[in-house]
């Protein structure tokens, strides 16, 4: 019996060790620093073939990109066909790669480079080619046979209801079975709060929608990425997307700022331009050894956005090895200005000196801890501070504000003429919220908090997007509140709707109550914000939940909601049961306000909505009908007179 117990005890210990080992992520040697390389998509899209890839490999070596650290050459979408063989093996596009993928990979490896490839955790890729959902093992076997070193795994065209963590974990497991070091890039654009699960699944994780070729895209990405960059690090890098330097839209100064911030944030440095006709000044930017050294610093700590003044300036700072620090000053204005930072009082660094990595200008910080730099429009300065010490640690940036409060005055039907109540504003992009499906956070210049949540509703059938506000607090306790919704016309990959789209339907649920539909007026302009107010019932002091979606069609993009107590009675919870028992309530915690409270008096009934939204069309129809009747009547009268004349 003693012997048996010992055996059981040993088995239990071994099982426990195995479980613990599985729970602890293993730091791969090839992901200790952010990856550097080149990708086909930003420049070439689907127009790729084996000749382009081989020529690019030659250029990366001969022109010095590999020597600068760019070691990955990655195929993006469109290397595959739309088919699989009978045994499930993916079929390569026979026109673009007539000899298959392995000869291309072998050629890349022969140059001392590493080879990357692309797929999606769905039925099809974003460009409509064959993807990997339910064929993860088949494709991973092919990747192993071809010698793949990097997989960018996208999130397009999946089955509704299958969460991203599950789909990406399947590919993670399949890659592990290859026994090959394959860098796994989780490309989910920040959906389903990527940063909450992807660091344990992939070696990098996307935080924002796709970058596009323009300065505003860089600014928009920073609005979201700045709040989660600190969650990246060795083995799990936060990825704001690829570089757009050299694609013709960014100015010289904007290119330096783009590269400086991506380097300081420890983002993957993946070029996306043609390498055959790069100007010397742009080549010098992307191969600047001192800036690349910041990105590849072995400490692996991303710089944080310490100071941000919207449309004005930024100060980013982060620790480097050997007790150094990187500081990036950014000018967002369309004209030049001086940007100043006190390295000691604002960043906690004492003594030493600072070297600007683009100009090599040095500033002594022993007698004065202030750095002032004159910056051209959209330009930056990148200082490495050395030979001092960190007197206090940099703090994690304040997350995108999920709640900001302002005081407003509302009229009360009491003896008091009015009373000041606090309205609580909850930003849609707040990190406490959850975005599901295709919904995602996106930078937005005109939005309250600098970002919004887009792609809500059935935006890519059958895939939908949902925004869930979590941890909502009832400021005056349970009861009735006015919820003001600030929204923009739907904007996902393009403006949603058409000429006849006058309303965005939005389904709202509060604390698992019955769904309630509102119909928000469209301005057919995604750059103009609108608002609409409804009533809701919060039946808990804290942790209330508000859900926005539309399973049937496009919904609007949400900037924020604002909650205002509907009256000043702290005991207004008595209205909850009465509200839910009223006819038509159906157990919903949402109700229509009076027309003067809603902000859209004609939105409450279908008839008034049609009259309001199609007034000019209806007026045109009425005028046409009147004119037609007049013509018919005139014709009838002429015929009647002619008939009467003939009778005479």
d(CA 563, CA 423): 6
Residue 529 DSSP code: E
Tell me, rounded to whole angstroms, the distance of Cα 528 from its chain centroid. 20
Does the annotation count 220 as an active-site position?
A: no
Contact residues for 553 (Cβ-Cβ < 8 A; gap 6+): 457, 458, 505
What would the two tokens of residue 625 be?
A: 């009908």
β-partners of residue 239 are 206
Buried b (16+ CB within 10 A) or exposed e, 512-521: ebeebebbbb
What would the two tokens of residue 2 be?
A: 């003693």
Residue 572 DSSP code: T
- What is the three-state SS of 227-284? CCHHHCECCEEEECCCCCCCCCCCCHHHHHHHHHHHHHCCCCEEECCCCCCCCHHHHH
Q: SS3 of 559, please?
A: strand
Cis peptide before 462 (omega within 30 of 0): yes
| Cα dist from 212 to 361, 460, 471, whole Å | 33, 20, 34
Does the annotation count 154 as an active-site position?
A: yes
Could you tell me if 591 and 584 are in contact, meaning their C-beta atoms sit under 8 angstroms apart?
no
| Cα dist from 575 to 285, 412, 480, 535, whole Å | 64, 16, 7, 12
β-partners of residue 560 are 427, 486
Active-site residue identified among 58, 210, 253, 539: 210
Q: Which helix (H) or strand (E) holds 223?
A: helix 215-225
Phi, psi for 84 (deg, rounded to 5) = -130, 155
Q: SS3 of 21, please?
A: helix
Buried b (16+ CB within 10 A) or exposed e, 69-88: bbbbbbbbbbbbbeeeeeee
Active-site residue identified among 77, 93, 154, 209: 154
Q: Which residue numbers are catalytic?
A: 154, 210
């Amino acid at each position: 019996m003693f012997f048996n117990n010992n055996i059981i005890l040993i088995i239990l210990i071994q099982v426990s060790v195995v479980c613990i080992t599985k729970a602890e992520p293993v730091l791969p040697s090839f992901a200790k620093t952010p990856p550097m390389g080149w990708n086909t998509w930003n420049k070439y899209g689907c127009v790729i073939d084996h000749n382009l890839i081989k020529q690019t490999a030659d250029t990366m070596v001969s022109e010095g990109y590999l020597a600068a650290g760019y070691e990955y050459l990655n195929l993006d979408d469109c290397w595959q066909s739309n088919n699989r063989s009978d045994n499930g093996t993916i079929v390569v596009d026979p026109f673009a790669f007539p000899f298959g993928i392995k000869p291309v990979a072998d050629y890349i490896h022969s140059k001392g480079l590493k080879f990357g490839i692309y797929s999606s955790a769905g039925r099809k890729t974003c460009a409509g080619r064959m993807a990997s959902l339910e064929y993860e093992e088949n494709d991973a076997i092919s990747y192993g046979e071809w010698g793949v070193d990097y997989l960018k795994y996208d999130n397009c065209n999946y089955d509704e209801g299958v969460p991203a963590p599950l789909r990406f974990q399947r590919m993670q497991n399949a890659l592990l079975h290859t026994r090959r070091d394959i860098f796994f890039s989780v490309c989910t654009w920040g959906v389903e709060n990527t940063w909450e699960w992807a660091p344990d699944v992939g070696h990098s994780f996307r935080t924002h929608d796709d970058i596009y070729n323009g300065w505003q895209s860089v600014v928009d990405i920073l609005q979201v990425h700045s709040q989660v960059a600190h969650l990246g690090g060795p083995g799990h890098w936060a990825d704001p997307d690829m570089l757009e330097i050299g694609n013709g839209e960014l100015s010289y100064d904007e290119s330096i700022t783009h590269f400086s911030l991506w380097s300081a944030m420890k983002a993957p440095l993946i070029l996306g331009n043609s390498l055959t006709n790069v100007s010397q000044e742009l080549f010098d930017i992307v191969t600047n050894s001192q800036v690349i050294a910041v990105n590849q610093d072995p400490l692996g700590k991303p710089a944080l956005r310490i100071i941000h003044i919207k449309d004005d300036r930024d100060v980013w700072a982060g620790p480097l090895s050997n007790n150094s620090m990187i500081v990036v000053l950014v000018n967002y204005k369309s004209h030049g200005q001086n940007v100043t930072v006190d390295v000691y009082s604002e960043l906690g660094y004492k003594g030493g000196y600072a070297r600007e990595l683009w100009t090599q200008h040095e500033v002594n910080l022993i007698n004065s801890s202030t750095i002032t730099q004159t910056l051209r429009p959209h330009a930056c300065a990148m200082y490495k501070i050395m030979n001092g010490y960190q007197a206090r640690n940099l703090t994690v940036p304040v997350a995108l504000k999920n709640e900001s409060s302002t005081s407003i005055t509302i009229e009360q039907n009491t003896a008091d003429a009015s009373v000041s109540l606090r309205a609580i504003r909850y930003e849609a992009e707040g990190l406490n919220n959850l975005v599901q499906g295709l919904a995602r956070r996106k930078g937005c210049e005109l939005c309250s908090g600098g970002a919004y949540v887009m792609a809500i509703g059935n935006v890519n059938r059958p895939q939908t997007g949902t925004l869930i506000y979590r941890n909502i607090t009832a400021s005056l306790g349970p009861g009735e509140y006015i919820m003001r919704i600030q929204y923009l016309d739907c904007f996902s990959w393009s403006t949603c709707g058409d000429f006849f789209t006058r309303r965005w339907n939005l389904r709202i649920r509060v604390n698992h109550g019955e769904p309630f539909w509102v119909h928000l007026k469209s301005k057919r302009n995604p750059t103009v914000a609108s608002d609409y107010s409804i009533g809701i019932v919060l039946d808990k002091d804290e942790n209330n939940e508000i859900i926005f979606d539309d399973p049937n069609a496009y919904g609007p993009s949400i900037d924020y909601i604002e909650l205002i107590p509907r009256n000043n009675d702290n005991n207004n919870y008595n209205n909850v049961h009465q509200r839910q028992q009223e006819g038509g309530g159906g157990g919903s915690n949402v109700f229509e306000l009076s027309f003067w409270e809603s902000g859209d008096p004609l939105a409450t009934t279908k008839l008034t909505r049609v009259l309001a939204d199609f007034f000019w069309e209806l007026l045109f129809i009425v005028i046409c009908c009147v004119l037609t009747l007049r013509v018919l009547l005139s014709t009838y009268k002429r015929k009647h007179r002619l008939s009467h004349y003939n009778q005479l």
